[in-house]
């Protein structure tokens, strides 16, 4: 599969094309100029189901900058694991073993709270006392305290367009999506070695999608569940 034809001039302001180990990626640096939220359901109480539907449901005054799928989902598009939206838990934290990428331990949680954003392994997050405003559980972790997930091969044969999230600190979040199929090992190293993220979490592969405030930039043909949206601060 050839790299997707996305040029830097087509991207939202916080995003850029990053070449890493011979593969292309779109990387979006989200700092204090922006605010983030998670969204699952539209005004009708049903999941948006796609970034296109989410964009269509946004008011122009909202200041949407970009949107990305942000976690795995069940057949009814509900989150596979822990999910919090505007302080309301819509999915429980899952610590059991299972099959598939979500359960490749350690998996983890991306969250947004009073003190900014964070990423923790599921085990560490379960010990938190403070609540969060937004959270999505996914897996596997890509980077754990500066180390690549122990089950990843350096450059395995499983290759997909993948997306995920990493943090340098509570107010510096990196969203990334590959523009061509990459291995989990290479995608994890992008966050650690190129972006300097001590912790990073995998969102999904194969269905990965990214949009600006009007158009789909990557993906969009498959359904999505949880959506991470970035807005300009007023």
Tell me the residue range of the domain where 93 lies.
15-33+79-221
Summarised one tens digit per residue, pLDDT across range 30-47 is 999 999 999 999 999 999
Summarised one tens digit per residue, pLDDT across range 95-119 is 999 999 999 999 999 999 999 999 9
In a domain, 209, yes or no: yes
In a domain, 51, yes or no: no
In a domain, 72, yes or no: no
* 67 vs 55: CA distance, rounded Å: 8
Q: Answer yes or no: is pLDDT of 49 > 50.
A: yes
**Residue reference for tokens 């993220």:** 197
Q: Answer yes or no: is pLDDT of 9 > 80.
A: no
In a domain, 113, yes or no: yes
Summarised one tens digit per residue, pLDDT across range 124-139 is 999 986 789 999 999 9
Distances (CA, A) of 148 to 95, 142, 187: 20, 6, 10
Domain tally, the chain = 1
Q: Answer yes or no: is pLDDT of 1 > 60.
A: no
Summarised one tens digit per residue, pLDDT across range 164-219 is 999 999 999 999 999 999 999 999 999 999 999 999 999 999 999 999 999 999 99
**Has this prediction a pTM greater than 0.85?**
yes
* 201 vs 199: CA distance, rounded Å: 7
Summarised one tens digit per residue, pLDDT across range 56-77 is 999 888 999 999 999 999 999 9
pLDDT the model gives residue 6:
66
In a domain, 52, yes or no: no
- How many Å is the maximal CA-CA distance in the chain? 46
Compute how many other C-beta atoms are within 10 angstroms of the C-beta atom of residue 97. Answer: 7
């Amino acid at each position: 599969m050839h790299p997707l034809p996305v040029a830097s001039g087509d991207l939202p302001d916080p995003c850029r094309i990053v070449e890493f180990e011979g593969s292309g990626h779109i990387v979006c640096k989200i700092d204090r100029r922006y605010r983030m939220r998670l969204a699952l359901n539209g005004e009708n109480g049903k999941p948006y189901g796609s970034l296109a539907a989410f964009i269509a449901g946004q008011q122009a005054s909202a200041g949407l900058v970009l949107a990305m799928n942000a976690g795995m989902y069940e057949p009814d598009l509900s989150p596979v694991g822990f999910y919090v939206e505007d302080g309301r838990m819509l999915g429980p934290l899952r610590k059991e073993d299972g099959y598939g990428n979500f359960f490749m331990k350690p998996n983890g949680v991306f969250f947004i709270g009073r003190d900014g954003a964070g990423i923790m392994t599921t085990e560490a997050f379960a010990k938190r006392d403070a609540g969060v405003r937004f959270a999505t559980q996914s897996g596997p972790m890509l980077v754990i305290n500066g180390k690549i997930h122990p089950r990843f091969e350096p450059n395995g044969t499983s290759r997909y367009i993948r997306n995920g999230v990493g943090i340098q600190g509570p107010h510096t979040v990196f969203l990334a999506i590959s523009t061509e199929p990459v291995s989990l090992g290479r995608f994890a190293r992008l966050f650690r070695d190129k972006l300097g993220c001590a912790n990073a979490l995998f969102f999904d592969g194969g269905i990965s999608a990214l949009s600006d405030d009007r158009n789909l930039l990557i993906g969009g043909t498959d359904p999505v569940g949880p959506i991470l949206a970035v807005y300009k601060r007023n």
